[in-house]
A and B are shown apart, each in its own frame.
Chain A
């Protein structure tokens, strides 16, 4: 009797890329829901626009590159990139902001480098940084927490120039807590004074602390489900916390508390969902700790002294560049070797 032959191991594999991506998308839900609840419809519109753009762009690029389209689309990686990018965008942006950002992320940062598994930079962050550098104004259009326009108004703001000009976008949008800290410290106010404004909540920025808690929750679930490993989040949050603590202890009037840093901006989203993108991150266990810590420290430095309000995106891209070198120097000791 004749039989088929395949290489060992023969047991059915236990993991699946598509399943992993689905779990990550699922884990984004609490944070994304908080963001939508507090910042309005704009968040959802951005997610939808980015997702549609990502699927279209990925399909087009796969076809141009003569790669299997459907199988690759079903791995969910393009969708995840789109959602991550969209969640980093302010809710009152015009429609083309998520579209342009996602196009860059998928077409340039992902597919032109060879598609899933070959991109040296985090596509979502590459797309975000392109937007941040090219359209800084549009990327500050955050609505006031809990005080956002209705669905139709938001749609109008997203899609029509007249609505943007007429409805008094300025009246709707509001500086983020981290923006506020930066500008007011520049005006020689102390942190104590700044924190007493309505922008600040219990331990982080108002509303932002809840969004961050949501992402923390999802991230912990990812850890528990073993979709991600602890080193990168621990490294990043640890690096951010430790650096912030040192400066805060040195001068509490000028340097805000480490807890504020952990629960403001994109700290939690970055630590559990962005920095952990395995393709562009370090892969050795020790390397991941260093990689994460690097992102944490750089995030603090950029937040505190850089020209942009948040530093997660730049920090991630900078550490992406360092990842191969980190991997090279952090190889684990092989079993039985000294």
Chain B
């Protein structure tokens, strides 16, 4: 069955599709460890004394702070407005007073701090007024719903934190073949999606229906991993109960990183999202199950995204479980709600053991992208062993789900040959960690790739800055040149004009002088013949004089008189 023609044929019923699954290259079968944290039901972590809410919890522009120190805030109040398109508002997760606007430790691989709103909670947890719910979503246009999803501050809860309405909007432009609700929790230890699927099946399905209403996809699939049988059963039962045949449940084999968007799409459809492209490029929109449930809460109950389910697990915590945690809750509070640390806790991670990062302090807050807080012991995850030289064994190549040559990338990244690293498709690396996991030389490969990527980005920035500087310099140079040229031209023109008019004026002057001289001459001449002794002339004499004068006048050029 060719999946492409299958999708295009369209006339078959939705059931029965996605029966054949595909394989992606590489990947690993990892010990699941999900069950550690699914023994206990989801519990609310409660309201911490202080909430630290960072202004940037999504990919894109930082939101703009709307409150100041001393302001009272109510639960669900917008405390930061979106800036730009790829941005969402940030809400107060509980009621209280703003006590600080400052940089606070932020869950980030580099241990950065980030501008945050610190709220001292009052414990009343009061909404401002009654959140009025929307009319039935079926009556609303996709645009209206997208606006609402944005206003609710919803971002992808799978870990990337990309604004959901942006992703959905890319699907409303074109036809969507497949809406894929991703419940494949492939990273060991994490179980928040699994437990959400079991305990909030109804919310998830309603959220999925809302997304279907927005996107009008031909097919809609909720994908789970093979070891999530209870979640799968819950889904199937709920679908049977509601007689909904528009949503299919597909269980995919357990192989890390099958929960990665690109890998999951490959497994289900056999198609590959173009390198550097998006699923929407091939008519697929993928959303995490947590995101779908958040969409339901936003649309049906008008609740913004102010809490999420977080798996708190690992041998470093006494009571591993899933918690409903308010955004901005410090890790330490969530740990306390899970029975506190065990004695031999060694490290604290945000995310799973393959792609998560270690944080240096438990003062960092839970943000929208925090799917897991993993407290581990040294025994569980020993510190990395000393790296040996690469022996080019190729195990990394075998394991790479992006079909890269990790050992080549490593050589180039290590030697700083960044052009070659890019030529070997460094930016197609998804940092899943499979290569480092299988490396017999214990080389921290992902670290090298991240470093190389950062360096290329920095180079790129510098190059852009240099380009701008060069352009400016060039423009400046051109301007100077133009000014110089114009000045020269103007001078030349004036010179020319001056020299041209000068000769004319000179001519005129000379002519005038000449004329004057002649007049003088003539005057002199005339003066030279000035009539003398004409005072007492007789009439006859006077007549003679006049006649002479007349004759003389005739001889002289006309116009002289």
Contacts and interface: CB of A to CB of B under 8 A. Distances in A.
B393 A20 contact: yes
Given A5-B347, A5-B359, A117-B392, A283 B447 contact: no
B438 A117 contact: no
B404 A6 contact: no
A337 B272 CA distance: 8
A13 B273 CA distance: 30
A278 B393 contact: yes
Interface in A63-93: 71, 75, 77
A4 B358 contact: yes
A33 B470 CA distance: 72
Contact of A335 (B348, B360, B401, B447): B401
Contacts of B401: 335
A6 B346 CA distance: 11
A10 B391 contact: no
B453 to A, nearest CB: 13
Interface string A293-325: 000000000000000000000000000000000
A115 B388 CA distance: 11
Contacts, number: 168
A250 interface: no
A334 B441 contact: no
B403 interface: yes
B428 interface: yes
B405 A11 contact: no
A117 to B, nearest CB: 3
Contact of B262 (A19, A118, A229, A336): A336
The interface centre, meaning the residue of A6, A332, A335 with most chain B CB atoms within 10 A of its CB, is: A335
Contacts of A12: 381-382
A331 B424 contact: yes
A62 B75 CA distance: 66
B359 to A, nearest CB: 7
B349 A115 contact: no
Interface string B276-316: 11000000000000000000000000000000000000000
Contacts of B266: 335
A251 interface: no
Nearest to B282: A336
The interface centre, meaning the residue of A12, A75, A117, A284 with most chain B CB atoms within 10 A of its CB, is: A12
Interface of B is mostly: loop
Given A117-B391, A285-B397, A334-B403, A7 B425 contact: no
A3 to B, nearest CB: 5
A8 B446 contact: yes
Interface in A103-132: 115-118
A97 interface: no
B353 A11 contact: yes
Nearest to A328: B408
Contacts of B362: 1, 3
B275 interface: yes
A229 B354 CA distance: 25
B376 A10 contact: yes
Interface string A7-34: 1111111111101100000000000000
A139 interface: no
Contacts of B48: none
A281 interface: yes
A279 B391 CA distance: 5
B404 A118 contact: no
The interface centre, meaning the residue of A8, A281, A288, A332 with most chain B CB atoms within 10 A of its CB, is: A8
B361 A3 contact: yes
A198 B275 CA distance: 63
A13 B437 contact: yes
A278 B392 contact: yes
Given A2-B360, A10-B358, A335-B262, A283 B446 contact: no
Contacts of A281: 392
Interface in B48-67: none
A9 B25 contact: no
Contacts of A19: 440
A86 B485 CA distance: 83
Given A5-B111, A7-B446, A116 B391 contact: yes
A110 to B, nearest CB: 11
A3 B348 contact: yes
Given A9-B353, A283-B394, A4 B383 contact: yes
A15 B393 CA distance: 11
Contact of A75 (B382, B385, B388): B388
A20 B390 CA distance: 13
B78 to A, nearest CB: 33
Contact of B392 (A13, A16, A279): A279
A334 B404 contact: yes
Contact of A9 (B355, B359, B383): B355
B392 A1 contact: no
Nearest to A15: B440
B129 interface: no
A255 to B, nearest CB: 35
A9 B436 contact: yes
B389 A115 contact: yes
23 contacts: A1-B362, A3-B345, A3-B361, A4-B346, A5-B357, A6-B347, A7-B357, A7-B384, A9-B437, A10-B347, A10-B381, A11-B30, A12-B381, A13-B438, A75-B388, A117-B388, A117-B392, A278-B393, A278-B394, A283-B407, A284-B405, A335-B266, A335-B402
Given A9-B433, A10-B358, A15-B439, 17 more contacts: A3-B360, A3-B362, A4-B383, A5-B359, A8-B436, A8-B446, A11-B188, A14-B437, A16-B440, A278-B391, A283-B394, A283-B407, A284-B394, A288-B394, A331-B405, A335-B402, A336-B277
Interface of A: 1-17, 19-20, 71, 75, 77, 115-118, 229, 278-279, 281, 283-285, 288, 327, 331-337
Q: 9 shortest A-B CB distances, which residue pairs?
A: A117-B389, A9-B433, A5-B358, A336-B275, A15-B440, A7-B447, A278-B393, A10-B353, A335-B402
Interface of B: 24-25, 30, 111, 188, 262, 266, 272-277, 332, 341, 345-349, 353-362, 374, 376, 381-386, 388-395, 397-398, 401-405, 407-408, 424-425, 428, 431, 433, 436-442, 444, 446-447, 450
